[in-house]
């Protein structure tokens, strides 16, 4: 790979953006400092240090860019989208700075014409960052149009839909795809008139991906080939491959995901890259911090609840149950016991239901307030769970549901969570139909994992708990 091609690689793109944003933000802050402080046009009570404020303000803005996913690699962001993203994040940043730095000065009258200064600062940041990022996107697209930095792609299908996708990818190279050829689905021989070779049959898709070092799969099946969709997706589930499908097929896997576009063909990312390493590390640090603090600060409450459970009914305070975790590995989940000890003696494994008669008096309060789940902070500390993720299920139900619901095991590509999108947006599982609906939320979470989404789910969970939305 040449030096120019390295520039278009993911690491090169990220490094370029970091350097470009650093230069543009430092330049904007330096100009603001000079005009506000050094120009003599405006009265100042004292001359502050130059480099300290300039660097700190630049780092603050870059943190906001990072937090809002503006350093996430993508070929598909248009220049207009880039400018809109800059406008949103810079507006938020300036708003925060106003209250953090300028509000006290404004209230005391130390900075006259404050609105003018804020507007001027906002314009400087937006102008410099937008110019640099638009230039970057322009350069990136020009290189892609020349074939530099394209991602190798394989098209699954060999009908009219697949041919159209191939032609569009070749015509609009700035989208970043380099289609190598087709993978035949359920047919023999090579169809006539294909613009690229048949690389293999669908049964050999994994080997074909490895042979050609392709990491992009575009599924373009015809109506009579839909039944192959599940086997294709589950067959490549363990590989580092991004799967995109034509959206009218996506109804059959009952989920939601990110969308992109191929000039007239909307594509839905079924298996995009999950959280980047820095996000994974931050998520883990957040898990450790929140769970550790909660266990220590809440210790008096945990002891009180333990005493109440012991007085209310016979049996252990902590209920241990085997659940399925990430990569389908079993672990022991901890809960405050909310049911009788012999709750499943006669029935075997069954889902809890609303107004479940097996629930004890104290257990009813625990379930309503979700306090029965709090011992799982220990599971989070051990790394078996995360604060946010799909709720873990028992092995018995995992095996049962995997046979009835395609893609169910995809939930276990990530750590299970103490709370999750399905928990705050839907209800507890009481039937197969409930699980199917829950799966839609779980798939959406997996396809759109981000720290921002985790924070949203945590805030929704707090309101959920305060409103007492839980099984009784």
Do 140 and 75 contact (CB within 8 A), yes or no? yes
In whole angstroms, give the CA distance from residue 36 to residue 117: 8
What's the Cα-to-Cα distance from 207 to each of 178, 236, 312, 321, rounded to whole Å?
18, 10, 59, 39
- The pLDDT, as a whole number, for residue 4 is 43
Residues 6+ apart with CB under 8 A from 310: 317
pLDDT digits (tens, 9 = 90+) for 269-297: 665 556 776 788 889 999 999 999 999 99
In whole angstroms, give the CA distance from residue 315 to residue 311: 10
CA atoms within 13 A on the CB side of 146: 9
In the predicted model, residues of the chain with pLDDT beneath 70 are: 1-13, 38-50, 73-78, 100-115, 187-192, 226-227, 234, 237-240, 246-274, 277, 343-355, 406, 426-431, 468-472
What pTM did the predictor assign?
A: 0.56
Residues 6+ apart with CB under 8 A from 409: 234, 328, 398, 402
Q: Provide the 10 A C-beta neighbour count for residue 43.
A: 8
Q: Where along the chain do its domains lie? A: 3-145, 151-269, 277-466
- The pLDDT, as a whole number, for residue 1 is 39
Do 384 and 429 contact (CB within 8 A), yes or no? no
Long-range contacts, 92-97 (Cβ 8 Å, 24+): 92/64, 93/60, 93/61, 93/64, 93/125, 94/118, 94/121, 94/122, 94/125, 97/57, 97/60
Element (H, E) at 199: strand 198-201
- The pLDDT, as a whole number, for residue 165 is 85
**Strand locations in 226-385 (E):** 242-245, 258-262, 265-269, 318-324, 330-336
263: left (phi over 0), alpha (psi -120 to 50) or beta: left
CA gyration radius for the chain?
27
Architecture of domain 151-269 in this structure: 3-Layer(aba) Sandwich (3.40)
Do 371 and 294 contact (CB within 8 A), yes or no? no
CB crowding 156-179: b at 16 or more within 10 Å, else e:
bbbbebbbebbebbeebbbbbbbb
pLDDT digits (tens, 9 = 90+) for 84-141: 888 988 998 888 877 766 555 555 555 555 667 788 889 999 999 999 888 888 888 8
Do 273 and 285 contact (CB within 8 A), yes or no? no
* DSSP label of 390: P
- The pLDDT, as a whole number, for residue 126 is 92
């Amino acid at each position: 790979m040449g030096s120019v091609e390295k520039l278009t690689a993911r690491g090169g793109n990220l490094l370029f953006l970091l350097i470009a944003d650093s230069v543009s933000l430092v330049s904007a802050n330096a100009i603001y400092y000079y005009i506000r402080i050094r120009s003599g046009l405006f009265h100042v009570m004292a001359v502050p240090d130059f480099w300290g404020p300039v660097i700190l303000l630049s780092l603050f803005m870059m943190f906001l860019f990072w937090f809002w996913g503006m350093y996430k690699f993508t070929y598909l962001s248009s220049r207009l989208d880039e400018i809109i993203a800059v406008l949103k994040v810079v507006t938020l940043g300036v708003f925060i700075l106003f209250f953090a730095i300028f509000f006290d000065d404004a209230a005391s009258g130390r900075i006259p014409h404050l609105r003018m200064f804020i507007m001027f600062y906002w314009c400087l940041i937006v102008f410099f960052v937008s110019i640099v990022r638009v230039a970057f996107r322009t350069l990136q697209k020009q290189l892609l149009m020349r074939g530099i930095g394209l991602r190798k792609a394989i098209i699954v299908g060999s009908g009219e839909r697949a041919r159209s996708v191939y032609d569009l990818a070749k015509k609009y190279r700035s989208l970043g795809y380099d289609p190598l050829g087709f993978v035949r689905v359920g047919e023999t021989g090579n169809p006539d008139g294909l613009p690229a070779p048949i690389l293999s049959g669908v049964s050999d898709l994994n080997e074909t991906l490895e042979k050609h070092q392709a990491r992009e799969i575009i599924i373009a099946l015809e109506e009579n080939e839909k039944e192959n969709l599940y086997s294709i997706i589950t067959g490549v589930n363990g590989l580092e491959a991004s799967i995109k499908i034509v959206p009218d097929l996506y109804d059959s896997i009952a989920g939601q995901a990110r969308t992109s576009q191929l000039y007239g063909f909307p594509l839905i990312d079924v298996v995009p890259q999950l959280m980047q390493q820095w996000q994974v590390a931050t998520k883990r640090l957040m898990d450790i911090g929140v769970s550790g603090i909660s266990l220590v600060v809440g210790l008096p409450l945990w002891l009180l609840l333990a005493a109440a459970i012991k007085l209310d009914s016979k049996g252990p305070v902590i209920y241990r149950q085997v659940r399925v975790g990430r990569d389908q590995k079993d672990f022991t989940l901890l809960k405050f016991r909310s049911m009788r000890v012999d709750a499943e003696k006669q029935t075997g494994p069954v889902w809890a239901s609303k107004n479940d008669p097996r629930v004890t008096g104290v257990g009813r309060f625990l379930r309503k307030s979700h306090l029965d789940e709090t011992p799982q902070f220990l599971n989070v500390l051990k790394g078996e769970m995360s604060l946010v993720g799909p709720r873990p299920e028992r092995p018995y139900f995992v095996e049962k549901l995997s046979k009835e619901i395609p893609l169910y095991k995809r939930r276990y590509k990530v750590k299970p969570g103490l709370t999750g999108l399905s928990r705050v947006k839907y209800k507890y599982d009481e039937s197969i139909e409930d699980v199917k609906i829950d799966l839609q939320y779980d798939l959406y979470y997996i396809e759109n994992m981000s720290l921002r989404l985790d924070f949203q789910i945590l805030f929704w969970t707090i309101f959920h708990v305060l409103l007492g939305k839980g099984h009784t």
